[in-house]
Homo-oligomer: A and B are copies of this chain.
Amino acid sequence: MHNVLRVGDVFKALADPTRRIILDELTDRNGQTLFEICSRLTTKHHLGSSRQAISQHLDVLEAAGLVETRREGRYKFHYINTAPLEPIIERWLRNPEKDAE
């Protein structure tokens, strides 16, 4: 289950505006379910994305390590994880130890 977290996955995950708004929502209220996120996106951000679309976005965020999940009965709660964000910026802010890929 330990997928290799690549640096590019983090940036690709952040490249989509809907996924960034999802991270905003999880920052505002952590541990939401898929349906909570969907309803919040439609009401607060006027995004007409379907449930399946949001689910796929959450998969991308989880593959990048930016979102972690915990199952409880028929609910699946989503938590933001900012750990992958910290090292990737300092890559160019100070001296490079160049990553592969």
A contacts, CB < 8 Å to B: 7-8, 11-12, 14-17, 20-21, 23-24, 27-31, 80, 82, 85-86, 89, 91-93, 95-96, 98-101
> Separation in Å of the A65 CB from the closest CB of chain B?
13
Q: Which residue of B lies closest to A31 (CB)?
A: B99
Number of copies: 2
A101, B17: Cβ atoms closer than 8 Å: yes
Once bound together, how far apart are the Cα atoms of A8 and B21, in whole Å? 11
A11 touching B7, Cβ below 8 Å: no
Known contacts A8-B17, A14-B11, A15-B12, A27 near B95 by CB under 8 Å:
yes
Residues of B within 8 A of A85 (CB): 89, 92-93
